[in-house]
Amino acid sequence: MVRRSFSSRVPADLGVNRLARALQEARAKGRPLIDLTLSNPTRAGFVYPPDLLVPLSHPRGLTYEPQPFGLPQARRAVSADYARRGVSVAAERIVLTSSTSEAYSLLFKLLTDTGDEVLVPRPSYPLFDHLTQLDAVTARPYDLEYHDGWTLDLAGVEQALSERTRAVLLVSPNNPTGSFVSRHELKRLSAMCAERGVAIIADEVFADYQIRPGACVDAGRTTDVGEGLVFSLGGLSKSAGLPQVKLGWIALAGAEALIGGALERLELICDTYLSVSTPVQAAAAELIACGAAIRKQIQARVASNYRALIEHVEAVPACTVLVADGGWYAVVQVPSIGSEEDLVVSLVDDGVVVHPGYFFDFPRESYVVVSLLPPEQDFGEGVTTVLRHIERSL
């Protein structure tokens, strides 16, 4: 008998895809590339104050004070940051994590048994495949539909719910569609979930980044939901452009009794790992405050690149920018001349990198997804190259 050495939680096929191979080759040859998939804010030309991380070296970080949910002052700082956005969440309902990815893992441990299901939006964040598989959870899709704006297919959610569904994942604003969950959608979804004992996990890491003025105010407020169980996820990675600092959080909302039960169990899970470093927690208030300067730069860049994208694409009738209300990404519908994969690989030859729509599980072709983070000049040149390539192929 051949014994298996490794868990099936890690995919058997670890090979790189065609786009990654084309990129490796182009980089090995030293070819200059404009990266329109750039999602790392620390590499996007923003000005980070050189003394931003000084609070991490404060002597208060020399004393280890293990607290499963994090130091009270850090939880209060996160609560105050919610208040900045006009959202009220008590510090006692905030659980610190080292990242949003870790928050998903903690919540899957809290809510699911092996083989249980969670519903994930489609199109959405590609990491959900790994995040669910690594915790032995089955991901079932529900659709976001586009009709001059994105809506959540609530009938589809209802159909996808099964005896084994433990949570519905929401991303608001979503990566890459830029759509916020509306108040009406959230109301119906939370009623549907509460009735069936299904939790909502709302990834709101991009909540600070609205593209359409008023989008944040119009959006459904997950932390105000008073029934069932709702977990809202956030973190410095996006809210302050500090992914390297590793500070995220979960804010709990819903029915009092359920929140109590969830906190008791989460305490044990978090106490098992104690993964958030003391210096980061001790410096949380200062990092959140200083992060505002970086957030402002990102907000301005994202808005200006989205406007530029609309202008460039307007000149090419075969292409359309889908409406994005927020987030760091934009979706461009392009003519289906060949496969998305052929298109993105040939664009590497032209010196520009974009994501194909299938990477985010778009149900059909052809879309390309661009990040709105690159410096304005690179962004404009990259988009022009993409559009010229498409025009040439028509």
State in angstroms the smallest separation of the CB of 298 from ligand PLP: 13
State in angstroms the smallest separation of the CB of 177 from ligand PLP: 11
State in angstroms the smallest separation of the CB of 365 from ligand PLP: 22
**Counting contacts by CB under 6 A, is residue 40 touching ligand PLP?**
no
CA–CA gap between residue 280 and residue 276 (Å, rounded): 7
| Amino acid (1-letter code) at residue 110 | L
State in angstroms the smallest separation of the CB of 172 from ligand PLP: 9
Per the listing, tokens 């989205």 go with 306
- Choosing from 37, 99, 172, 177, the residue that interacts with ligand PLP (CB under 6 A) is 99
**Counting contacts by CB under 6 A, is residue 120 touching ligand PLP?**
no
First to last CA, the chain: 56
**Counting contacts by CB under 6 A, is residue 243 touching ligand PLP?**
yes
State in angstroms the smallest separation of the CB of 337 from ligand PLP: 29
Say if CB 117 and CB 164 are below 8 A apart.
yes
Query: What is the footprint of ligand PLP within residues 205-224 (CB under 6 A)?
Result: 205
- Choosing from 203, 325, 340, 378, the residue that interacts with ligand PLP (CB under 6 A) is 203
Task: Give the residue among 87, 56, 59 at the shortest CA–CA distance from 74.
Answer: 56
- Choosing from 237, 278, 281, 366, the residue that interacts with ligand PLP (CB under 6 A) is 237
**Counting contacts by CB under 6 A, is residue 248 touching ligand PLP?**
yes
State in angstroms the smallest separation of the CB of 175 from ligand PLP: 4
State in angstroms the smallest separation of the CB of 180 from ligand PLP: 13
Q: Which stretch binds ligand PLP (CB under 6 A): 46-54, 94-102, 111-119, 151-159?
A: 94-102
- Choosing from 41, 235, 291, 380, the residue that interacts with ligand PLP (CB under 6 A) is 235
**Counting contacts by CB under 6 A, is residue 175 touching ligand PLP?**
yes
Query: What is the number of other CB atoms lying within 10 angstroms of the CB of residue 323?
Result: 17
**Counting contacts by CB under 6 A, is residue 171 touching ligand PLP?**
yes
Nearer to ligand PLP, 294 or 319 (CB): 294
DSSP for 26-65 reads HHHTT---EETT---GGGTT----TTTTGGGG-GGGGS--
Residue 117 DSSP SS3: strand
Helices (H), the chain: 18-28, 72-84, 100-111, 128-134, 154-160, 183-196, 215-218, 236-239, 256-273, 278-282, 284-314, 340-349, 376-393
CA–CA gap between residue 35 and residue 45 (Å, rounded): 13
Say if CB 247 and CB 292 are below 8 A apart.
no
Cβ-count burial 344-376 (b if 16+ within 10 Å, e if not): bbebbeeebbbbbbbbbbbeebbbbbbbbbbee
**Counting contacts by CB under 6 A, is residue 55 touching ligand PLP?**
no
**Counting contacts by CB under 6 A, is residue 250 touching ligand PLP?**
no
CA–CA gap between residue 126 and residue 130 (Å, rounded): 8
**Counting contacts by CB under 6 A, is residue 37 touching ligand PLP?**
no
Query: Interface with ligand PLP by CB under 6 A: which residues?
Result: 39, 99-101, 125, 171, 175, 203, 205, 235, 237, 243, 248
